Structure 1
Amino acid sequence: MNLNATLIAQFVVFFILAMFTMKFVWPPLMKVLDERAEKISNGLAAADRGKAEMAAAEKRAQAELATARDEGQKRINDAEKRAHAIIEEAKKTASDEAARILAAAKADAEQQVTRAREELRGQVAVLAVSGAEHILKREVNAAAHADLLNQLKTEL
């Protein structure tokens, strides 16, 4: 056995194995590694997009929440204003009604005072005639002295 022939044979076998590996084994292996690297980079890009979308969605949610909060506060303020307006309207209606009732009561009191005065005048006239009768000891004719009695009523 010759050492040189063995080395050359091993070199030829190694060269054939290297060529076979470079031609048939290495390309599919590199293809698989490239595909895996591409999947990883796509996954990382998708994760970044997901984070960006999540941040944008969170911002939109915060904006919607702020808008809803503002709208709720506006509705509360509007309701308070409306309640205040209703209370003021009820107060005005009540004061108008009280003024109307007071005016009606004053008018009624005036009518009663006038009626009482007229009644009192009539009674005073009757008493005056009665007193005059007693003083004169004779009866005064009411029909004959109607003008005199009316003038007496107006003076009282």
Structure 2
Amino acid sequence: MNINATLFLQAVVFAILVWFTMKFVWPPITKALDERAQKIADGLAAADKAKTELASANKRVEQELASSRNDAATRLAEAERRAQGIVEEAKARANEEGSKIIAAARAEAESQLVQAREALREQVAALAVKGAEQILRKEVNASVHADLLNRLKSEL
């Protein structure tokens, strides 16, 4: 065989191989590559979308946390105000009760003072009668001189 014929035959076989490859082998490979590229693009788009959703979710979470913190601070302040009010009310009631107890004690002390004065007057009157009896060296009848003794008590 001649080199030209071999070269020509090899060129024809190569052309048939190229045509067969382009007709039957190349389209499924390009289709698979295109599908793979599309899947990668879809995955990247989904990742970007998830990233933006995550960022917005983080913003919402931060807003909710801030709102919760503010709400908690408000409730804590309200609880402190209520506690302070309860303490003030308890102090006022305690002062009121103390005032009542002091007033009752003063009234009782005044009553006891009056009773003590009355008892002292009785004792002074009795001592005065005994003193007068010893001075006069005779007995003074307390029932007969009751009016005189009552006047003496009122003067004391």
- State the TM-score bracket (shorter-chain normalisation): 0.7 to 0.9
| Alpha-carbon distance between aligned partners in 2 of 1:130 and 1:6, rounded to the nearest angstrom | 175
Hey, what does 2:112 align to over in structure 1?
112
Higher RCO, 1 or 2 (CA under 8 Å, sep at least 6)?
1
Percent identity over the alignment? 59
Hey, what does 2:103 align to over in structure 1?
103
Q: Which runs of 5+ in 2 are unaligned?
A: none
The count of aligned residue pairs is 155
Hey, what does 1:79 align to over in structure 2?
79
Hey, what does 1:37 align to over in structure 2?
37
One-letter amino acid of the counterpart of residue 120, structure 2: L
- Give the deviation of 1:8 after TM superposition: 6.6
- Give the deviation of 1:21 after TM superposition: 2.8
Give the match's secondary structure for 1:144.
coil
Give the match's secondary structure for 1:138.
coil
| Alpha-carbon distance between aligned partners in 2 of 1:135 and 1:7, rounded to the nearest angstrom | 180
Alpha-carbon displacement from aligned partner over 1:99-151 (angstroms, at most 9, x marks no partner): 12211211121111101110111122222223333444432221112122112
Within-5 A mapping of 1:7-156: 12-13=12-13, 15-156=15-156
- Give the deviation of 1:41 after TM superposition: 0.7
TM-score by length of 1: 0.81
- Distance change (3 Å), C-alpha of 1:117 and 1:7: same
TM-score by length of 2: 0.81
